[in-house]
């Protein structure tokens, strides 16, 4: 069982093992662990090389660590657009019989804690609380029964969406790929830290004391296992790929009587039970 945090140190990025409010620098114990999670994803046995040292190693406060992306350069970032029934209804869509899949670019993602940028061309920046999978073992034609064996860990994702650009075309690509709108992390938990498929976890988005979304990952239409099996029908998943599992109801564009857009100066928190909180300040592009 492990909770990882990739963060900046005076000597560069490092992988930390989180233990409550404190963390141990694993990269300092074994430099082969590297500056992000890719080495551990590709060689899980690396953690065994430092297991006996963690208990007696120096600790730093988690609050003192500036988060970095868990995977610095993910290969593929695949997202589910419609995976909670009530969110589908609030968006005016029919419930699909196949998941709505889209992709994100590397420039669109950023670390927890980093500014989430409202672009100059739109004030319709929305939030989406999501569970994110980090693929461990890759593969093609992965069966649903075997799919959870391909998960390295779970983290938190805010699928920041620029809604007017999302609606400009039948493809959602523009609205989902503005630079620095998809926040990831900071904590990555191994699968044994949460229920199978990370199901049954409370998922929530907030600005201050204002609760924007509140649901449960048990309400997802397509489970983690089903999603991995479905995606691997058409593409080869690789170690370090990221899969975002869709958002529950309560997004800003569907708020009545008026939409609830994110504004510069606010801090948006996405929390998933048993995993952690992804917190990001909102800034205008001109101030980014």
Compute the residue count for the chain: 288
CA 136 to chain centre: 15
Q: Per-residue pLDDT tens for 137-169?
A: 999 999 999 999 999 999 999 999 999 999 999
What's the pLDDT at 204? 98
Domains, the chain: 3-67 (no CATH), 77-287 (3.90.850.10)
Query: Taking residues 21-26, what's their average pLDDT?
Result: 97
Pick from 61, 43, 227, 44: nearest CA to 130: 227
Q: Which two tokens stand for residue 43?
A: 């060689």
Query: Taking residues 105-133, what's their average pLDDT?
Result: 98
Residues in contact with 32: Cβ distance below 8 Å, sequence separation at least 6, in sequence order: 39, 46, 49
What's the pLDDT at 261? 98
DSSP 81-107: S--BHHHHHHTTPPPPSS--EEEE-GG
Q: Per-residue pLDDT tens for 45-80?
A: 999 999 999 999 999 999 999 999 999 999 999 999
Q: Per-residue pLDDT tens for 237-277?
A: 999 999 999 999 999 999 999 999 999 999 999 999 999 99
């Amino acid at each position: 069982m492990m909770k990882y945090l990739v963060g900046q140190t005076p000597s560069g990025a490092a992988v930390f093992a989180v233990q409550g409010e404190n963390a141990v620098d694993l990269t300092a114990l074994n430099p082969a662990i590297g500056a992000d999670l890719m080495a551990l994803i590709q060689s899980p046995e690396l953690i065994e090389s430092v297991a006996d040292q963690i208990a007696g190693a120096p600790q730093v406060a988690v609050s003192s660590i500036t988060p970095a992306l868990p995977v610095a350069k993910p290969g593929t970032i695949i997202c589910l657009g419609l995976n909670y029934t009530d969110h589908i209804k609030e968006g005016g869509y029919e419930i699909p019989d196949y998941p709505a899949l889209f992709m994100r670019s590397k420039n669109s993602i950023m670390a927890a804690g980093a500014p989430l940028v409202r672009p100059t061309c739109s004030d319709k920046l929305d939030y989406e609380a999501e569970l994110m999978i980090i693929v461990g073992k890759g593969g093609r034609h992965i069966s649903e029964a075997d799919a959870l064996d391909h998960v390295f860990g779970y983290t938190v994702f805010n699928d920041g969406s620029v809604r007017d650009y999302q609606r400009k075309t039948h493809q959602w690509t523009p609205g989902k790929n503005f630079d620095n709108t998809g926040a990831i992390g900071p904590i990555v938990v191994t699968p044994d830290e949460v229920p199978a498929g990370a199901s049954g976890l409370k998922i929530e988005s907030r600005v201050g004391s204002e609760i924007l979304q509140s649901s449960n990952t048990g309400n997802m239409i397509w489970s983690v296992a089903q999603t991995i099996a479905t995606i691997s029908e058409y593409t080869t998943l690789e170690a370090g790929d990221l899969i975002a599992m869709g958002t529950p109801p309560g997004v800003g564009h569907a708020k009545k009587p008026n939409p609830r857009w994110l504004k510069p100066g606010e801090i948006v928190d996405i929390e998933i039970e048993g995993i952690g909180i992804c917190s990001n300040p909102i800034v205008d592009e001109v101030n980014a």
